[in-house]
Structure 1
Amino acid sequence: MKKNIVIIGTGGTIAGKASSATETLHYTSAILSVNSLIHEIPEIHKIVHVTGEQLSQIDSCDMTCGIWLQLAARVNELLASNKVDGIVITHGTDTLEETAYFLNLVIQSQKPVVLVGAMRPVTAMSADGPMNLYNAVTLAANDKSIGKGVLVALNDTVNCSREVTKTNTMLQDSFQAPDLGYLGYIQGGIPYFYRLPARRHTLCSEFDCRGITDLPKVEIIYGYVDSSPIIAEAAVKAGAKGLIYAGLGNGNMSQDIRKGLINIEKQGVVIVRSTRVSSGIVTRNGAVHDDEYHFVVSDTLSPQKARILLMLALLTTNDPVEIQRMFWEY
């Protein structure tokens, strides 16, 4: 029996068009509707019953927390129906990893949710979008995907939303998980899994966005030579309830930054130490005495994903001990 899959469109390069088949750099994102994308891949109808919904039509650099909340509400609503077996979300690649991780924390279902994008517009002679979308649909329709959290499918690979990141500005194999590797591959329309997500997600998550209209303001502060706390102080003055410090090495920071962040933490703002390094663990009490300063460490989460987890944590608490527990579990 064919599965019932809903494809939700949000825009992005996968729905983009250029002036010629050889143009892959200068194009306009978010032109084609999700139903147009489905129409271009008639083979989809041989494997699933598919319907399309257009939730937004944007370049993913314009993604917002408000759209995230709308998307989460709609996905949860659809998955609560026994007439829907899985969801595929088309998305621009610039912020795809962030949307995927946010949904991984707030979707209350074991049914498959798969995010997919493209590195080349649909008009390119070697467009990757159509096959990526076909693979994403086969992944969402496969029972092996149940209970594995929100997945990301590009370039014949399956990635965990917590660990995947865009590693290259242009190449089609940009989406990878440098530390822990792919969850698996898609070959001939069949997903092959080789490992499982180990952290809490979806139905096992404690985060609930129902009734939430906005998320607490959290900003990311980047570490560099001779940096000062003025940007962090300005962010707090503008209303930030939490700060992610993308620090040096193991989340390290200069004496000036440390003094500034200690003072900010005393004002009730939560400080999370992450790193600008592309992989590795930020260890507690490693480069900085976190216990003494009441800082939180991000574990292996990138700064942009640490921001998402902190925003959700701040919906219920600003206790650094409790928030550190969340960072260990998610």
Structure 2
Amino acid sequence: MSGLPKVAVIGTGGTIASQGLDPLDVQDYASSGRPILNAEELVAGIPALKQVAEVIPVLHSAIPSTAVGWSDWQALLARIAALRAAHPDLDGIVITHGTATLEETAYFLSLTVPSDIPIVVTGAQRPFTGLSTDGHMNLVKAVRVAGHPDSRGMGALVVLNDEIQAAREVTKTSTGRMQTFRSPDVGVLGHADADRITYWRRPMRVLPVADRFDVAGMATPPRVDVIYSVAGGDGVAVKAFLGAGAQGIVAAAFAPGFTTPAERVALAEAMEAGCTVVLSSRAMSGRTFPAKRYRAEGFLNADNLTPQKARVLLMLALTRTRNRDAIQAIFDAC
């Protein structure tokens, strides 16, 4: 018995597992032609992991996160369930992931995994082979957080750059900087420092396990699209989404949640056609306010969820109900 926590590391690809042509190839490494490392190769390449946990590398996938979608989330749900069944003494699970859609995957898992076991999603801004790569330390810190008993019951967590963030709250804010993942409205949950894991607070919006969305095995989710408000937006995209079968539309509206007049008309028509419309903000911070004129027309509000996370939640909500008041209650709780 090592006395160390037992942590599984599921590899899904992304920058953290990518290889450039040389140590200075930290930007266009996707064109290097070198393969993305799998979980076994990733773990073997960071011997220091043995000092912090008994690590179980789990072969899963090796793709850029721009390719991640519903089927990949379903595969992760199945993998997590299988791991918990095979290793009942598992202390935590780490998922390595590309940063493009990392926050969406983490939020989906936070809403759907029927367990309080710590699930930590991590990635990197520089490839595995890059000079001063952040990936090696990010993975070590993520494993430490996943194995820490205080990490239980917080929903999925995101760990990069020594910071522990809640899946619901965190978003990528910079294309290339190390401190890209931030929680604009509320800040970090804690820090993964060299000597200890320290939590300062617990997230308030974590669904009890019994209330999480049971979508495991669902082949096709309700279609939900996002419209981005810009000056002069004419609402044509709304009509296109409806034509493609959208059951829900999230508006990345002007802060604090207003659209152009033409978009408002198009979205109202979408609701008349049976589509659910949720107003979020393109500002990426702050709540959308339930203005009377929008509320009277039946528009729902995303609170302070980013448009991409509002889309995830609306997809899940529509698997449970089409009642607008019930969906708004879901957004208020999640």
In 1, Cα distance between equivalents of 2:75 and 2:297: 37
Pairwise CA distance, 1:274:
0.6
Shift of 1:91: 0.1
Q: Which residue of 2 aligns with 1:318?
A: 322
- The CA RMSD measured in Å over matched residues stands at 1.4
Task: State the TM-score, normalizing by the size of structure 1.
Answer: 0.96
Matched, 1:261 2:255: no
Task: Confirm or deny that 1:59 pairs with 2:64.
Answer: yes
Matches of 2:128 and 2:155, distance apart in 1: 28
Equivalences for residues 156-305 of structure 1 within 5 A: 156-188=162-194, 190-201=196-207, 203-285=209-291, 288-290=293-295, 292-305=296-309
Aligned residue among 101, 106, 114 for 2:107:
101
Residue type at the aligned position of 2:49: I
Deviation of 1:126 after TM superposition, in Å, equals 0.3
Distance 2:73 2:195 in 1: 29
Q: Is the 8 Å Cα contact of residues 85 and 141 (structure 1) preserved in structure 2?
A: yes
Q: Could you tell me whether the CA contact under 8 Å between 1:19 and 1:27 is conserved in 2?
A: yes
- One-letter amino acid matched to 1:18: G
Which runs of 5 or more structure 1 residues have no equivalent in the other structure?
Answer: none
Identify the residue that residue 17 of structure 1 maps to in structure 2: 19
Per-residue CA shift, 1:124-175, capped at 9, x if unaligned?
1201101000000000111111111100000000000001001100001101
Q: Partner amino acid for 2:306?
A: S
Q: Structure 1 residue 111 and structure 2 residue 113: aligned?
A: no
Give 3-state SS (helix, strand or coil) of 1:265's partner: helix
Contact 2:22 2:129 in 1 (8 A): yes
Give CA-to-partner distance per residue, 1:270-294, whole Å, 9 cap, x none: 00001111210001126x431x211
Stretches of 4+ aligned residues off by more than 3 angstroms: none
Whether 1:120 aligns to 2:132 is: no
CA separation in 2, counterparts of 1:296 and 1:170? 34
TM-score (norm 2): 0.95
* Paired letter, 1:211: G
- Equivalents in 1 of 2:220, 2:196: separation in Å? 38
Q: Is 1:77 the equivalent of 2:77?
A: no
Paired residues of 2:39 and 2:60 also in contact (CA < 8 A): no
Number of equivalences: 328
Show the counterpart of 1:37.
42
Tell me the distance in 1 between the aligned counterparts of 2:113 and 2:22: 39
Kept after mapping to 2: 8 A contact 1:79/1:85: no
Question: Residue 135 of structure 1 contacts residue 189 of structure 1 at CA under 8 Å; is this kept in 2?
Answer: no
> Which amino acid in 1 is paired with 2:63?
I
CA-CA distance at 1:49 after TM superposition: 1.5
Post-superposition shift, 1:78?
2.1
Quote the offset at 1:42 in angstroms: 1.4
